[in-house]
Amino acid sequence: MKKFSSLKILYIDDDDSVRKSAIELLEFYFDTIYQAHDGLSGIEMYKEHKPDIIITDIHMPNLNGLDMVRQIRTEDTETKIIVMTAFLKTPYLLEAMDLGLIKYLVKPVMENELLITLKSCVTDVNEKKNVFNLGSGYKFDTLNNNLFLNNEQVFLSKKEHVFLKKLLINHDRVVTYNELASSVWDGIMSEDAIRSIVKDIRKKVTKQVIKNVSGIGYKIVLEDD
């Protein structure tokens, strides 16, 4: 499994030696790793850092793993959560099934089993991070450069693809005219050309999805903005 430097992982276990060994393994694959020693500190770390993946033990002091996950799930159904335990009691299994977990691993967890589970999590997280909701049923997949309307592909020209993708991967800021000129037109861009491509894209999605910031450039307006 390759390194996933862009993803954040939170590991929670009250056993210091187990946690230390797990962190040493995870450091081979993730640059950003947070750790906690019980459910209460796990909740605090989750709220502060919003990790992409959580790995947690069940039996811990102060707040057990399942109660911690239940609290997280009241506001977040997307974060990938892996639960570990040394016990195979049926009530725990039934309860865990209702919490939207990726996997329920039995201790001692084999390294290969953990890595396979993490790879599945990473794939799912990356797929969701690459798909942007443009509203009114439109979604754009920046990994495959495809625009969809209710799962049906919508045709875009090559320049329209590049333009829209440039705005989406920089969705948290305004993309300047110079940046767009460099990416879409190899540095040579007329005002008519940029107005024309914006007009054409707005016809294929919704008019409000691309916002002009006068004198600076353009910004994408996502449904959740």
Render pLDDT for 92-110 as a digit per residue (tens, 0 to 9). Answer: 665 666 666 777 788 888 8
Render pLDDT for 167-184 as a digit per residue (tens, 0 to 9). Answer: 998 888 999 999 999 989
- Please indicate whether the domains covering 8-129 and 131-220 agree at the CATH topology level: no
Domain ranges of the chain: 8-129, 131-220
Radius of gyration (Cα) for the chain, nearest Å? 22
Q: Cβ atoms within 10 A of the Cβ of 59, count?
A: 16
**Beta partners for 176?**
217
Q: Establish whether the linkage from the previous residue to 108 is cis, with ω within 30° of 0.
A: yes
Write down the CATH number for the domain with range 8-129.
3.40.50.2300
From CA 45, how far away is CA 51, in angstroms rounded? 9
pTM score, two decimals?
0.62
Mean pLDDT of the chain: 87
Q: Cβ atoms within 10 A of the Cβ of 52, count?
A: 23
Query: Any idea which fold 131-220 has?
Result: Arc Repressor Mutant, subunit A (1.10.10)
Render pLDDT for 187-219 as a digit per residue (tens, 0 to 9). Answer: 788 889 999 999 999 999 988 899 999 999 999
H or E element in which residue 205 lies: none
Going by C-alpha positions, the residue among 115, 219, 104, 105 that lies closest to residue 173 is: 219
Instruction: State the pLDDT confidence band at 225, using cuts at 50, 70 and 90.
Output: very low
